[in-house]
Amino acid sequence: MQRHGNALLTDVSLRVLPRQIVTLVGPNGAGKTTLVRVLLGLMSADRGAVRRRSGLRVGYVPQRFTPPPSLPMDVDGFLRLAGPSTEPQRKQRLADNGANDLLRRPLRALSGGEMQRVLLARAMLREPDLLVLDEPAQGLDVQGQQEFYALIARLRDASGCGVLLVSHDLHLVMAATDEVVCLERHVCCVGRPEDISVHPEYLRLFGRDLTGLAIYRHHHDHHHDLHGNIVPDAAEGRTAHD
């Protein structure tokens, strides 16, 4: 996929199965959001195909949502915008997310963590087969992120939906994910966390200290030109870089 002569995504392939949590990690500008937008049908790729199971329902949780001042509504009003639902259903979705007391709260009064739970409740009201979350825990503290990822895993267990999660927080998502896909405009590395966490290639890509806060080190046998195209290092006599 190219835009304005820049290669945004090249040779990307990924699959999300029912009940599976797939986490997309990669540095800033790696194309994670672009890939999510292609998968959601909001952008079209120049080549390739997106295959959806027939009748697939998708729930989406964006990176962040700031309600405009011109939208004075409470949480219940916001959830009603998601589509037809009853008040007990809306209450239940909030309760599932540990946000029981937020139904009558003005949307603009919510904390960052509360807003993410409301956005998740809104996505789950659609009873999705696939839940897509683009860096949903950004802005939460470490404990808040851990709780949020654990909540996503519980919702997956309860509903059986597949989950595609975008995250920078490799060390936190490791516990909650079934498969990690590392993207830097192409797929650098993919596998089950327990397998790739001991794989030399994975350690080379992400650093060795997986017990503490993971140090995000990204090693390559190639580099990218100014347009994002992949250039093998051997072609220019370069050595691998961090």
Ligand X SMILES: Nc1ncnc2c1ncn2[C@@H]1O[C@H](COP(=O)(O)OP(=O)(O)OP(=O)(O)O)[C@@H](O)[C@H]1O
Q: Which residues bind ligand X (CB under 6 A)?
A: 3-4, 6, 8, 26, 28-34
Query: Least distance (Å) from ligand X to the CB of residue 124?
Result: 23
Query: Least distance (Å) from ligand X to the CB of residue 225?
Result: 13
Q: Which CB atom, from 61 or from 107, has the smaller least distance to ligand X?
A: 61
Q: Which CB atom, from 18 or from 29, has the smaller least distance to ligand X?
A: 29
Query: Least distance (Å) from ligand X to the CB of residue 34?
Result: 3
Query: Least distance (Å) from ligand X to the CB of residue 28?
Result: 3
Query: Least distance (Å) from ligand X to the CB of residue 76?
Result: 31
* 7 vs 45: CA distance, rounded Å: 11
Q: Which CB atom, from 8 or from 125, has the smaller least distance to ligand X?
A: 8
Query: Least distance (Å) from ligand X to the CB of residue 73?
Result: 28
* 194 vs 99: CA distance, rounded Å: 32
Query: Least distance (Å) from ligand X to the CB of residue 228?
Result: 7
Q: Which CB atom, from 4 or from 47, has the smaller least distance to ligand X?
A: 4
Q: Which CB atom, from 97 or from 167, has the smaller least distance to ligand X?
A: 167
* 64 vs 111: CA distance, rounded Å: 12
Q: Which CB atom, from 8 or from 131, has the smaller least distance to ligand X?
A: 8
Give DSSP secondary structure letters for the chain.
Answer: -EETTEE---S------TT-EEEEE--TTSSHHHHHHHHTTSS--SS------TT--EEEE-S-----TT---BHHHHHHTTSS--HHHHHHHHHHTT-GGGTTSBGGG--HHHHHHHHHHHHHHT--SEEEEESTTTTS-HHHHHHHHHHHHHHHHHH--EEEEE-S-HHHHHHH-SEEEEESSSEEEEE-HHHHTT-HHHHHHH-S--SSSPP----BSEEE-TTS-EEEGGGGTPPPB-
The dihedral through the CA atoms of 86, 88, 91, 95 has a sign that is negative
Q: Which CB atom, from 96 or from 169, has the smaller least distance to ligand X?
A: 169
